[in-house]
Amino acid sequence: MRAHLDPERTYRLGGAAVPGEVRFQVVVEQTDLLVVANADYSARVQALVLTLRGQIKAAGELYPGFLTSFSPVPVPENTPAVVREMARAAEAVGVGPMAAVAGAIAQAVAEDLARDSPDCLVENGGDIFCRSSRERVIGLLPEPEAGLTLGTRVPAGEFPVAFCASSGKIGHSVSFGRGDLAVIRAGNAALADAAATAAANMLRTHRDLDRLIRQVKAWQALGIEGLFAQCQGRMALWGRMELTAV
């Protein structure tokens, strides 16, 4: 299957192919996944995404505000795993559960494929969860018009890992900030996604970058491992985020 050709997904056209790996796309309603694995598991991934989306929609019916709130919404422990992950991540950093949805789905898909494809990357609208036995470079996109020119290097021994992004300027997701990009690295993709939203919400001018670094350092105890942020031509970097040219 060809890479997504929507103007907001042109970054998927970049990146070098690796022998033995297959890239395929799965789209279910608003969920748009690019998966890199050892074979094409499109039908399996589509079935799983339908299940996950059904569970999330059901949570919206059972727990008022789960799909719409910009603040945490508690859910019982016996809810499906994807719903619990979203709620826990949102609670940890003070955002709504849907701020974690893309990361939670990406990780659920990658974990489902892990038994058959130990090397697997799932990208969901700029949010990535990856398992790998070799070093990878994960692309960053602070300036879409410039193309994919910047990335962060991840050594083989540091997987699995998630990189999730939010922006006040790029994409359709709601952000209360005005920064170019905030990218969070963590071992849990729902947490990385929720934290990226919270980080982007903080960025209104470049003067907010120092405050953002202090906040992300405070989240380190939650499992946050790194930050890349850009606003008004200024850049902030913290933690395990080794930049490299792509």
The per-residue pLDDT for range 199-234, each reduced to its tens digit, is 999 998 999 999 999 999 999 999 999 999 998 889
Residue closest to 95 by CA, chosen among 172, 168, 174, 29? 174
Mean pLDDT of all residues in 161-171: 79
> Is 2 part of any domain?
no
Band of pLDDT at residue 93, cut at 50, 70 and 90: very high
Burial class (CB in 10 A: 0-12, 13-18, 19+), 76: exposed
Residue 183 has pLDDT above 50, yes or no: yes
Residues near 216 by Cβ (< 8 Å), separated by ≥ 6? 184, 195, 199, 224, 227, 238, 239
> Is 105 part of any domain?
yes
Mean pLDDT of all residues in 61-77: 97
Question: Domain range for residue 84?
Answer: 7-245
Between β-strands 136-140 and 234-239, what pairing exists: parallel, antiparallel or unpaired? unpaired
Q: What is the pTM of this model?
A: 0.89
b/e burial code for range 33-46 (CB count within 10 A of at least 16 → b): bbbbbeeebeeebe
Domain of 193: which CATH number? 3.10.520.10
> Is 188 part of any domain?
yes
Mean pLDDT of all residues in 187-193: 98
Name the domain count of the chain: 1
| Portion of the chain with pLDDT greater than 70, in percent | 85
> Is 1 part of any domain?
no
Query: CA-CA distance, 188 to 181, in Å (whole number)?
Result: 20
Query: CA-CA distance, 178 to 202, in Å (whole number)?
Result: 8
